A and B are shown apart, each in its own frame.
Chain A
Amino acid sequence: MRIYEYIIRRSVLLVFVLVGVSLITFYLSRGIPSAFNPCAPYINPKMTPEVIHNTCASHGFYQPLYLQYFYWIRDVLSGNWGSAGTWANGQPVYTVFASRFPYTVELALSAVIISVVVGLPLGILSAVHNNKPIDHASRIVALTGISTPVYWFGFVLQLIFFYYFLQWGLPNLPNQGAVSVGAPTIQSYTGIPILDGLLNGNWSFAWDAFLHVILPSITLAFASLGALTRLVRASMLEVLKQDYITLARSKGLSERVVVFRHALRNALIPALTVAGLLFAGLLGGAVITETVFNWPGVGSLSVTAVLQGDSNFVMLYTLVTALIVVVANLIVDVLYAAVDPRIRY
């Protein structure tokens, strides 16, 4: 099979997966005992009962659920994702999502950077000192990260670095939101606060945004650190056993050169892949962290939407995050084939 045939085959499967995801989400989210009539976002107080009836009928709300799905598909294909409920002032869900998504990108990106900066050296150290105290320590750090309740860790960080530091008169970190409450409104280029601050040349705004992202991104990174560390360790151990490493050592090269020049490059490929998938996962999975830190991203918003029974927003959120995950997987698989000549499809 040629590579483009493989991509086409996978893309067909991708559509299949997305239809499956939307079908399941649709049935479930329309089934939530809703706080409001699912048709409510489409109508406004100025409408007469007759107009209301017609509007609701045109979106299929008087049809059985399985037919409503096709009405929904029709609306979405014509670019209408529907409106959010009163909790978001009835704005189109697409607008709500787009305005909040950059915040989630900022948080996920910072978390991935922390994971890589901490997890990579930890994994390498762990592999080089296999079964030595350093290896055990890094294993404990990794497993503790996996075992920690994310929201608990977030609140403990708030308790120490926000509250206690404040009590002790130390410089404390902010614990709520992405920028300070009184922050000036600045020209938005990307929607990502740190980047916007820099692009505007407003250093204090960027610094403020940077301080706000520290605690949430540490919280998020701590949970994903473990997987990355364990993977780097495993792939490093695998590479260090190879013949060419023995050859490099027998040439009399120093251990440092062997590890960093020869082994690391090959061990890094799977690690960076995981970092990529991690980022894709975090874009959709920062739900708890965002809620703990009142982060104005799409994750915390989706929880509100579920609790409010707002199917329109839940549909958009699940589809976008599912799309990101599936496409990231596809890109990784294709890149693997491009990099590694042994892989053929």
Chain B
Amino acid sequence: MTEKELESKQPPKRSGQRAAYVDELKYSVSLLAKNKLVLIGIVMSVFFILVAIFSNVIVNPATAYKFNFPNDYCWNSNLFSWGTQSKICPATLNFPLGSDGYGRNLLSMIVLAIPLDLSIALEIVGSALAIGIILGAVAAYAGGWVDEVILRVTDIFFAFPFLILALVFAAVLGRTIPNLELAILLVWWPVYVRLIRGQMLSEKTKAYVEALKALGVSRWRTLFFHLIPNSIYPLLVQATLDIGGVILTFSALVFLGFSPSPALPELGNLTADGIGQIFTAPWLLVFPGLVILLISLGFNLVGDGLRDVLDPRLRR
């Protein structure tokens, strides 16, 4: 065999790499598909994301905020005898989940609240990821006293009773949505710093980093185009798991007395609004809280499955 023939037998290098990558991806997807719980989680998450995107189509926000029950006030039901003045009504055909204390359709309010809650979660998790990646990468890559300082600061934040810290932040900043987001962000970022730092420390010692150095690739290029992309998977898993956690924390802050505004359609706010009527109109508490649970569960199922698939020790 001539040298030329031999060369033609070899698969072209580039496409070979890509083929391996595609194989790996296919394998991951097949693993995910085998796990029914992940599929359920994906269906739930996609459903809520779609509801969030099309919320303004499903519910017309222009009319949703108005009281549009057939009667001006709810009837004096035997079951729910709080008098004719109440705007809280039990479920009917047009109001499948009943109406809230402002006489609004509870189901419409939940639909309008979902995009707000998801965007709050995305904003907080996204910002925490960005802070975590930058600080964590710098800590791992620079090492020495920079690493030490960043680690000790995260130590301080880990020692805090984090809900109280968020509460104090919120109390100082004032009760608006961006301020509450900021309060949660301030207690949320250290986890990501620790995660990516640990991941990068093990990545840094691998042979390819040495090879890049030998090739004369700059430190920054190595960091941003090689080390960070290679250490980011555990962070993405954590981020998926945290979307539910952030929504839960936000609603907890609202429950503990930091509602941005009383009539705001936000799931935590709707749930907290129902507490006053818990024994007379339990649906006001039960349904919005159930939606928080389902959104959070959906993302947690996906994240939990992703962790199993992406963790090389568990997959084969």
Q: What number of A-B contacts does a CB cutoff of 8 Å give?
A: 140
Contact between chains at A139 and B256 (CB < 8 Å): no
Residue ID in chain B nearest A139 by CB atoms:
B37
Q: Which residue from A21, A24, A31, A144 sits with its C-beta under 8 Å from B297?
A: A144
* B296: interface (CB < 8 Å): yes
Q: Which residue from B162, B163, B285, B300 sits with its C-beta under 8 Å from A155?
A: B285
Stretch with Cβ within 8 A of B (4 or more), from A48-56, A211-219, A263-271, A285-293: A285-293
Contact between chains at B171 and A17 (CB < 8 Å): no
Contacts of A158 in B (CB 8 A): 278
* A156: interface (CB < 8 Å): yes
Render B287-301 as a binary contact track against A, CB cut-off 8 A, 1 for contact: 001001100110011
Closest 8 interchain pairs by CB? A152-B289, A147-B296, A20-B156, A284-B161, A147-B297, A322-B159, A321-B161, A32-B171
Contact between chains at B244 and A17 (CB < 8 Å): no
Report the bound CA distance from A273 to B278 in whole Å: 38
Shortest CB–CB separation between residue A314 and chain B, in angstroms? 6
Contact between chains at B164 and A287 (CB < 8 Å): yes
Contact between chains at B160 and A288 (CB < 8 Å): no
* A110: interface (CB < 8 Å): no
Shortest CB–CB separation between residue A135 and chain B, in angstroms? 10
* B279: interface (CB < 8 Å): yes
Q: Which residue from A20, A136, A149, A309 sits with its C-beta under 8 Å from B251?
A: A149
Contact between chains at A16 and B37 (CB < 8 Å): no
* B153: interface (CB < 8 Å): yes
Contact between chains at A291 and B244 (CB < 8 Å): no
Shortest CB–CB separation between residue A136 and chain B, in angstroms? 6
Q: Of residues 198 to 245 in A, which have CB atoms within 8 Å of B's CB atoms?
A: none
* A317: interface (CB < 8 Å): yes
Contact between chains at B161 and A317 (CB < 8 Å): yes
Contact between chains at A306 and B285 (CB < 8 Å): no
Contacts of B296 in A (CB 8 A): 146-148
Q: Contacts A155-B275, A306-B171 known; A149 to B252 CB distance under 8 Å?
A: yes
Shortest CB–CB separation between residue B38 and chain A, in angstroms? 10
Contacts of A159 in B (CB 8 A): 278-279, 282, 285-286
* B233: interface (CB < 8 Å): no
Report the bound CA distance from A153 to B304 in whole Å: 22
Report the bound CA distance from A29 to B167 in whole Å: 10
Report the bound CA distance from A152 to B288 in whole Å: 9
Contact between chains at B161 and A288 (CB < 8 Å): no
Shortest CB–CB separation between residue A19 and chain B, in angstroms? 9
Contacts of B23 in A (CB 8 A): none
Report the bound CA distance from A13 to B151 in whole Å: 11
Contact between chains at B297 and A306 (CB < 8 Å): no
Shortest CB–CB separation between residue B132 and chain A, in angstroms? 19
Contacts of B156 in A (CB 8 A): 17, 20-21, 24
Contact between chains at A288 and B155 (CB < 8 Å): no
Residue ID in chain A nearest B279 by CB atoms:
A163
Q: Of residues 140 to 180 in A, which have CB atoms within 8 Å of B's CB atoms?
A: 140, 143-144, 146-153, 155-156, 158-159, 163
Q: Contacts A147-B296, A149-B251 known; A155 to B257 CB distance under 8 Å?
A: no
Q: Contacts A17-B152, A20-B152, A32-B171 known; A147 to B244 CB distance under 8 Å?
A: yes
* B169: interface (CB < 8 Å): yes
Shortest CB–CB separation between residue A73 and chain B, in angstroms? 17
Contact between chains at A25 and B289 (CB < 8 Å): no
* A325: interface (CB < 8 Å): yes
* B36: interface (CB < 8 Å): yes
Shortest CB–CB separation between residue B216 and chain A, in angstroms? 39
* B271: interface (CB < 8 Å): yes
Contact between chains at A25 and B255 (CB < 8 Å): no
* B93: interface (CB < 8 Å): no
Contact between chains at B37 and A28 (CB < 8 Å): no
Report the bound CA distance from A151 to B293 in whole Å: 12
* B168: interface (CB < 8 Å): yes
Report the bound CA distance from A25 to B164 in whole Å: 10
Report the bound CA distance from A25 to B167 in whole Å: 11
Contact between chains at B163 and A285 (CB < 8 Å): yes
Contacts of B304 in A (CB 8 A): 139, 143
Render B141-174 as a binary contact track against A, CB cut-off 8 A, 1 for contact: 0000000000011011011111111011101101
